[in-house]
Amino acid sequence: MSKYWSDTIRNIKPYVPGEQPQDMKYIKLNTNENPYPPSPKVMEAIQNYDLRRLRLYPDNECNGVRKAAADYYGLEKSQVFVGNGSDEVLAFAFMAFFNPGSTILFPEISYSFYPVYCELFKINFKTVPLDEEFNIGTNGFFQPNNGIVIANPNAPTAKCMSTEQIISILEKNPENVVIIDEAYIDYGGESMMKYIKDYPNLLIISTFSKSRSLAGLRIGLAFGQVELIEGINRVKNSINSYTIDSIALKGAEAAFADEAYFQENRKRIIKTRSRVISALKKMNFQVTDSCANFLFIGHQQCPAATIFKELRNRGILVRYFNKPKIDNYLRVSIGSDEEMDEFLKAVNEIITDFI
């Protein structure tokens, strides 16, 4: 605490990111990264970047990446925004669409950055309860509000909502922006991308950090009708016009160029996910139906906090949230097959020792 801090910063509880040990000693299943490298085309584009060009500012409009993303999803370039990771895009969107003092809604259990942005930007929020199986219903989003944010698939529960459910929320809230955070959509569930033309209040946020294996490049995107994208640009150009560096732009431009690699990578994770779910169920774990590149698991006899600690002692990092309703669950990213075998072996030992 410092006397120099503003009241907001004095009172805020910042988001706590998952550990990023730099020594590579751990099996990292704690931040939902992709275990496989980015597409060779991305790596080549970055390697071929003429470093002498670093003396110039980057393209502040991110034209190349926006064009590539628009072509990929069948949209116009003007319907795409590119930011420094989707966390930044989310923060900009909160500023662009939610007034200080207004009240937005999001699910009771969801991405823990949402309440942090609310606190930072002085936005009130109300959470919408989930059922006992962590399903998100629609009724809670039909109450008066000034905006909505939903992660689909949700984090950390890994469960997804149907497009019909999301459409009903959009239709009941025509005056408010509904943000759908699709960070994990390539692993399950159905994207809302094709509905952008129909709903002027729909903003989709996505990221290259998960299914495109580019968490380190920091690229997030927003998709919506032109007025929404203009709103986010107004925020960006009031804070920092050059959020993406030139090297990242080059890599990001190539990210959509290798569909075969993308599909193979995505399917590989989904296949490993099914195998790990079956193995965990055999060990009496409760596992939610995962639409994401991670699992949300709990064991009836062995507390999640114990498993978390014991895994860490064995060099395996997973995520534990010491929060009401989810403090007996772990979020486990899907790693490579070898990493998941190590994980399964370790949890088996831990629960056998405990019971």
Place of tokens 């060099």: 315
Asked if omega into 58 is within 30° of 0 (cis), the reply is no
Which range of residues in 84-92, 170-178, 308-316, 327-335 is near ligand PLP by CB under 6 A? 84-92
Q: What are the structure tokens assigned to 128, written together?
A: 């919408």
Minimum distance from CB of 130 to ligand PLP (Å)? 15
Judged by CB under 6 A, the residue of 69, 130, 151, 347 near ligand PLP is 151
In the bound state with ligand PLP, the residue whose beta carbon lies nearer, of 153 and 302, is 153
Tell me the backbone φ, ψ of residue 179, rounded to 5 degrees: -95, 125
Minimum distance from CB of 295 to ligand PLP (Å)? 14
Place of tokens 């949890």: 347
Site string for ligand PLP, 111-140 (x = CB under 6 A): x-----------------------------
Q: Is 94 left (phi over 0), alpha (psi -120 to 50) or beta?
A: alpha
Residue 33 within binding range of ligand PLP, rule CB under 6 A: no
Residue 207 within binding range of ligand PLP, rule CB under 6 A: yes
Which range of residues in 79-87, 262-270, 298-306, 336-344 is near ligand PLP by CB under 6 A? 79-87
Judged by CB under 6 A, the residue of 30, 39, 86, 211 near ligand PLP is 86
Minimum distance from CB of 138 to ligand PLP (Å)? 19
In the bound state with ligand PLP, the residue whose beta carbon lies nearer, of 14 and 303, is 14
Q: Using CA of residue 259, residue 195, residue 169, residue 111, what is the dihedral sign?
A: positive
Residue 185 within binding range of ligand PLP, rule CB under 6 A: no
Query: Dihedral through CA 20, CA 24, CA 28, CA 34, nearest 10?
Result: 90
Binders of ligand PLP among residues 219 to 258 (CB under 6 A) are 220
Question: Exposure pattern of 60-90 as b/e (b: 16+ CB <10 Å)?
Answer: eebebbbebbbeebebebebbbbbbbbbbbb
Residue 32 within binding range of ligand PLP, rule CB under 6 A: yes
Minimum distance from CB of 215 to ligand PLP (Å)? 5
Asked if omega into 156 is within 30° of 0 (cis), the reply is yes
Q: Using CA of residue 89, residue 131, residue 138, residue 297, what is the dihedral sign?
A: positive
In the bound state with ligand PLP, the residue whose beta carbon lies nearer, of 54 and 239, is 239
**Quick one: DSSP state of residue 354?**
H
Residue 181 within binding range of ligand PLP, rule CB under 6 A: yes
Residue 27 within binding range of ligand PLP, rule CB under 6 A: no
Tell me the backbone φ, ψ of residue 255, rounded to 5 degrees: -65, -30
**Quick one: DSSP state of residue 61?**
T
In the bound state with ligand PLP, the residue whose beta carbon lies nearer, of 83 and 279, is 83
In the bound state with ligand PLP, the residue whose beta carbon lies nearer, of 145 and 207, is 207
Looking at 100-245, which runs of residues are DSSP E strands? Answer: 103-107, 124-128, 148-151, 178-181, 202-207, 220-223
Minimum distance from CB of 341 to ligand PLP (Å)? 24
CA distances from 115 to 121, 125, 218 (A): 10, 7, 22
Question: Which residues would be at the binding site for ligand PLP (CB under 6 A)?
Answer: 32, 85-87, 111, 151, 155, 181, 183, 207, 209, 215, 220
